[in-house]
Amino acid sequence: MGREAVSIGADTFQFFTRNPRGSRAKELDPRDVEQYLEFAGEHGIGTIIAHAPYTLNACSADERVREFARQTLSDDLERMEHLPGNLYNFHPGSHVGQGTERGIALIADQLNHILRPDLHTTVLLETMSGKGSEVGGRFEELAAIIERVERKEKLGVCLDTCHVYDAGYDIVNDLDGVLDEFDRVIGLGRLRAVHVNDSKNPFASHRDRHEKIGEGSLGLEALRRIVHDPRLAGLPFCLETPNELPGYAAEIRLLREG
Ligand code: FE
Ligand code: FE
Ligand code: ZN
């Protein structure tokens, strides 16, 4: 992954900790870790993001599903200790009819079990589009989760541009206003990463379908403004657009210009 990232001019990358649909993770080889750290140092790769499988539901109504989410999250976090100081992003979950309040309480409860005092990873709640019964489509919902977690210092937020736009935050016409609101509700200090995606659907559609940069409803100019916003400077920006490697290389070039 590191090599691929460097080959397309990236200085960070995101990876799935395991098959996003499956559940098995490969055993970690300490030599791989050592080689990665050396490579990352040489090529200026900064903070990276591990993404939890998106099939997990930490606030399912089914206790076994919640238990599986908890085990997977804690297993991933244990493995992340081999690369201390990085980020681990997950989708908060879907309350599946139990109500947002209950969803928030369940997610916070999971985090209170998982976040050990000795962890060297920041766990990120991703902003969601609010599709179906997803929790995390409103900044207030993420704030409410954080509020209930004891070890808040281990928590951050990852802002996904497609998701927030689909959720009804107008980052195309009022980026400043949305960032002000994020700051007021969650605190910009919690913002630790950005997923840069265009959207296949119109504003406030609550759909969550990523589009290539410049080919969707957000458009290149809006996404460029985000990438160059001084309030977001220094954060890792990751593309999750429907592309192969050459497409990502072109999008990185496109976004860095201007
Ligand atoms: Fe995600
Ligand atoms: Fe995302
Ligand atoms: Zn998405």
pLDDT of residue 8: 97
Show the tokens assigned to 179: 């960032």
pLDDT band with cut points at 50, 70 and 90 for residue 70:
very high
pLDDT band with cut points at 50, 70 and 90 for residue 166:
very high
Which residues lie at CB < 5 A from ion ligand 1?
A: 126
Rounded average pLDDT over 146-152? 98
pLDDT of residue 244: 96
pLDDT band with cut points at 50, 70 and 90 for residue 30:
confident
The CA 208 to ligand 3 mean position distance, Å, reads 5
CATH of residue 218? 3.20.20.150
The CA 54 to ligand 3 mean position distance, Å, reads 9
Which residues lie at CB < 5 A from ion ligand 2?
A: 160, 195, 240
- Judged against a pLDDT cut of 80, whether residue 165 lies above it is answered with yes
- Judged against a pLDDT cut of 70, whether residue 164 lies above it is answered with yes
Residues known to be catalytic:
21, 51, 54, 91, 126, 160, 163, 195, 208, 210, 240
The CA 36 to ligand 2 mean position distance, Å, reads 24
d(CA 200, CA 217): 6
Mean pLDDT of the chain: 96
Which ligand number lies closest to the CA of residue 159? Answer: 2
Which ligand number lies closest to the CA of residue 90? Answer: 1
- Judged against a pLDDT cut of 90, whether residue 253 lies above it is answered with yes
pLDDT in tens, 74-100: 999 999 999 999 999 999 999 999 999
Q: Are 89 and 124 in contact (CB under 8 A)?
A: yes
pLDDT of residue 202: 98
Task: Tell me the pTM.
Answer: 0.97
Rounded average pLDDT over 161-185? 98
pLDDT band with cut points at 50, 70 and 90 for residue 22:
low
pLDDT of residue 109: 98
pLDDT of residue 19: 82
Number of folded domains in the chain? 1
pLDDT of residue 1: 86
Rounded average pLDDT over 253-258? 91
pLDDT in tens, 189-225: 999 999 999 999 999 999 999 999 999 999 999 999 9
* Residue ranges making up the domain that contains 182: 2-256
Which residues lie at CB < 5 A from ion ligand 3?
A: 208
Stretch among 16-25, 41-50, 178-187, 234-243 having the lowest mean pLDDT: 16-25
- Judged against a pLDDT cut of 80, whether residue 24 lies above it is answered with no
Which ligand number lies closest to the CA of residue 89? Answer: 1
- Judged against a pLDDT cut of 90, whether residue 23 lies above it is answered with no
